[in-house]
């Protein structure tokens, strides 16, 4: 994607970052100011027990352009500290595009004599002439980087060649790079012994894969009980995603060190909503850890237009951090996702439910963050003849509402953001209100949970086998959850539990 270059003026919000705005998420990460898109360079520093998040950042404007690597760190993936930009363009004619970061613990690169915690960032430099792959190294744990004197490390003279993901392959004792030949809709694999010299290993594509361009691929290894391990290739596409604009799907298969072979040519949609893109996966986790990811909670169809820019000086948030497993659902490999550590480091007291004739309500008007975690459990469903509806609504005193529901008769789960009035389909026809998916009640039970956080809703269905991320923009904070029912079969019961969430920002300007 090509961006316009603006004059390098002062940042859009030269004052300290302000996280108190009514649309500013308190649990999902958002930038201190300016425009943010894809997460980059996610790595875990075990020596310091610290998670690093880099991200595509324009500190000068509220739209994409002037791409830098923004930077933040956290010990729990919820409480963040902002840092100065980690990697910046060397001149006004280039952008620092997406990529990854790894700890070179064995000093394969030669950049870190006498050091076992040097960090190498691998990223795309975009210019009008070409997109090339470059590296930079950090001797201080990932805060400041020195660009490699002999960049680029890969140049194929293409303007559509980007977004390298790099991981260490212990089986082959090599580094593996996964990246996109964007316009060709091809994923390339390269190998290297030292992060500096790379050899092309193979390409992967299939004719039936959707999207106009491939971006931000990630090849992730999952441990599975039945087969030892499987690899999952995540491909982000923009434009032309199955739900419109940008989106992500995945294929499950095997990787032999050079080639990826999927079990099936049919991709699986990562989410049934429009607002999760370009997820990246943490490197350097312990062998016992399940994979962890963070995604960009937006869509290129409207990311540069949403009202957080003009009103609060920032645009775009990330998803909550997510744990993942790979399991079989109805015979098909499925990537599950649930909030990291069940939000335990920000979860506070449970909210009190109040019964009313048609259901139950929970107010979170007194939760200062206006963010909650909720769980809804439907039990006693007649699997042979499921009937009835369960609706849930988040409302504000100003009349905004964000709605969802379960139709047991048809096995439909739906979300509708049309009732949040600050930004609607009238502002952008691509800001479609509805998201829906099919569910199963064959075991007589259906459960789902979610996080709602000022302007981002994430829901997780059926033990995380499905999920949705939905951005919304109310004129006043949503602060009441109501659950109602109609036409349920005899013996069907609906339960609601909800907890307030603490802000992930210790103060309004947590930064260096």
CB–CB of 81/72 below 8 Å? yes
**pLDDT digits 0-9 by tens, 395-411:** 999 999 999 999 999 99
- Assign 287 a pLDDT band (cuts: 50, 70, 90): confident
Task: Note the pLDDT of residue 17.
Answer: 87
* Percentage of the chain lying above the pLDDT 70 cut: 96
Q: For residues 369 and 335, state if they share a domain.
A: no
pLDDT at 506: 62
For the residues 284-293, what does the mean pLDDT come to? 92
Residue 197, domain CATH:
2.115.10.20
Asked whether residue 324 carries a pLDDT value surpassing 60, the answer given is yes
Same-domain status, 335 and 352:
no
Q: Output the pLDDT for position 376.
A: 97
What pLDDT score does 7 carry? 39
**Domain match, 335 and 350 both:** no
162: which strand partners? 180
pLDDT band with cut points at 50, 70 and 90 for residue 225: confident
pLDDT of residue 511: 53
Q: Each residue of 109-149: pLDDT tens digit?
A: 999 999 999 999 999 999 999 999 999 999 999 999 999 99
Whether 282 and 359 map to the same domain: the answer is no
Helices (H), 344-425: none
Q: What average pLDDT does the structure give for the chain? A: 94
Q: What share of the chain is helix, strand, coil (3-state, %, to 5)?
A: 0, 50, 50
Q: What is the pLDDT of residue 217?
A: 98
The answer to whether 237 and 245 are in contact (CB under 8 A) is no
Together in a domain, 255 and 273:
yes
Q: Output the domain CATH number for residue 427.
A: 2.60.120.560
pLDDT in tens, 144-203: 999 999 999 999 999 999 999 999 999 999 999 999 999 999 999 999 999 999 999 999
Tokens of 228: 């030892």
Query: Quick check: 476 pLDDT over 90?
Result: yes
Residues labelled catalytic: 38, 215
Looking at the domain assignment, is residue 107 inside a domain? yes
Residue 240 scores a pLDDT above 90:
yes
In this structure, the answer to whether residues 414 and 287 fall within a common structural domain is no
480-506 mean pLDDT: 95
Residue 16 forms part of a structural domain: no
Residue 174 lies in a domain: yes
pLDDT confidence of residue 8 = 43
Q: How many structural domains comprise the chain?
A: 2
- Residues 282, 148 share a domain: yes
Using alpha carbons only, what angle is made at residue 248 by residues 219 and 449, rounded to the nearest 5 degrees? Answer: 105
* Predicted confidence band of residue 512 (pLDDT cuts 50, 70, 90): low
pLDDT-derived band at 269 (thresholds 50, 70, 90) equals very high
Considering 340, 371, 399, which residue would you say is the last residue of a domain? 340
88 within some domain: no
Nearest to 86 by CA among 32, 19, 146: 146
pLDDT at 489: 95
Res. 355 pLDDT band, cuts 50 70 90: confident
Residue 299: count of CB within 10 angstroms of its CB = 28
Q: Above 90 in pLDDT, residue 16?
A: no
Give the lowest-confidence range in 59-68, 165-174, 499-508: 499-508
Cβ atoms of residues 278 and 98 within 8 Å = yes
Does residue 81 lie within any of the structural domains?
Answer: no
pLDDT score, position 507: 52
Q: How does residue 1 score in pLDDT terms, banded at 50, 70 and 90?
A: very low
Q: Which of 130-134, 257-261, 278-282, 503-507 has the lowest mean pLDDT?
A: 503-507
- Same domain? For 276 and 210 the reply is yes
> What pLDDT shows up at residue 182?
98
Indicate whether 299 pLDDT > 80: yes
Look at residue 508 and tell me whether its pLDDT is greater than 50.
no
Is 46 among the domain residues?
Answer: no
Residue 277: predicted pLDDT: 98
User: Do 333 and 363 have their domain in common?
Assistant: no
Final residue of a structural domain among 291, 310, 340:
340
Position 302 pLDDT exceeds 50: yes
Contacts of 495 (CB under 8 A, 6+ apart): 375, 376, 377, 378, 379
In-domain check, residue 423 = yes
Burial of 511 (0-12, 13-18, 19+ CB in 10 A): middle
Can you give the pTM of this predicted structure? 0.95
Residue 399 C-alpha from the chain's centroid: 30
Range of the domain at 371: 346-501
Residue 41 placed within a domain: no
Do both 118 and 231 map to the same domain?
Answer: yes
353, 486: one domain: yes
Residue 9 has pLDDT above 50, yes or no: no
Q: Are residues 284 and 363 in the same domain?
A: no
- Report the percent of the chain where pLDDT is more than 90: 92
């Amino acid at each position: 994607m090509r961006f316009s270059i603006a004059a390098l003026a002062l940042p859009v919000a030269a004052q300290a970052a302000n996280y108190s705005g009514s649309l500013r998420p308190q649990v999902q990460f958002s930038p201190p100011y300016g425009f943010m898109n894809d997460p980059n360079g996610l790595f875990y520093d075990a020596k310091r027990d610290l998670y690093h998040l880099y991200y595509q950042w324009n500190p000068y404007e509220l739209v994409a352009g002037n791409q830098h690597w923004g930077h933040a760190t956290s010990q729990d993936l919820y409480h963040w500290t902002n840092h100065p930009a980690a990697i910046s363009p060397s001149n006004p004619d280039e952008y620092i595009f997406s990529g990854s970061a790894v700890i070179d613990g064995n000093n394969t690169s030669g950049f870190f004599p006498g050091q076992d915690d040097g960090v190498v960032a691998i990223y795309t430099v975009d210019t009008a002439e070409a997109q090339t792959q470059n590296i930079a190294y950090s001797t201080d744990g990932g805060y400041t980087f020195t660009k490699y004197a002999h960049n680029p490390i890969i140049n194929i003279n293409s303007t559509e060649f980007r977004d390298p993901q790099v991981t260490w392959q212990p089986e082959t004792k090599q580094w593996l790079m996964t990246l996109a030949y964007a316009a060709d809709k091809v994923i390339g694999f390269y190998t290297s012994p030292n992060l500096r010299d790379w050899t092309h290993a193979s390409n992967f594509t299939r004719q039936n894969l959707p999207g106009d361009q491939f971006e931000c691929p990630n090849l992730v290894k999952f441990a599975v009980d039945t087969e030892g391990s499987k690899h999952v290739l995540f491909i982000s596409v923009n434009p032309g995603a199955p739900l419109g604009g940008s989106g992500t799907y995945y294929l499950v298969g095997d990787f032999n060190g050079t080639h990826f072979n999927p079990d099936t040519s049919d991709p699986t949609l990562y989410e049934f909503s429009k607002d999760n893109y370009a997820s990246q996966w943490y490197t350097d986790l312990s062998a016992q850890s399940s994979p962890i990811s963070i995604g960009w909670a937006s869509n290129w169809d409207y990311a540069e237009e949403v009202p957080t820019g003009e009103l609060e000086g920032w645009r775009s948030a990330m998803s909550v951090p997510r744990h993942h497993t790979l399991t079989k659902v109805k015979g098909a490999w499925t990537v599950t996702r649930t909030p990291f550590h069940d939000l335990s480091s920000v979860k506070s007291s449970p909210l009190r439910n109040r019964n009313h004739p048609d259901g139950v309500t929970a107010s979170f008007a007194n939760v200062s963050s206006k963010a909650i975690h909720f769980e809804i459990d439907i039990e006693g469903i007649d699997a042979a003849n499921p009937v009835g509806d369960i609706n849930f609504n988040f409302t504000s005193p100003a009349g905004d509402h964000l709605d969802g529901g379960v139709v047991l008769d048809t096995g439909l789960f739906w979300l509708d953001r049309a009732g949040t009035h600050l930004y609607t389909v009238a502002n952008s026809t691509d800001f479609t209100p509805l998201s829906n998916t099919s569910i199963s009640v064959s075991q007589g039970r259906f459960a789902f949970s979610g996080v709602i956080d000022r302007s981002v809703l994430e829901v997780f269905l059926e033990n995380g086998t499905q999920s949705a991320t939905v951005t919304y923009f109310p004129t006043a904070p949503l602060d009441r959850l109501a659950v109602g029912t109609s036409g349920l079969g005899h013996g069907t019961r609906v339960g609601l539990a909800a907890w307030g969430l603490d802000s992930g920002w210790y103060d309004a300007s947590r930064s260096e």
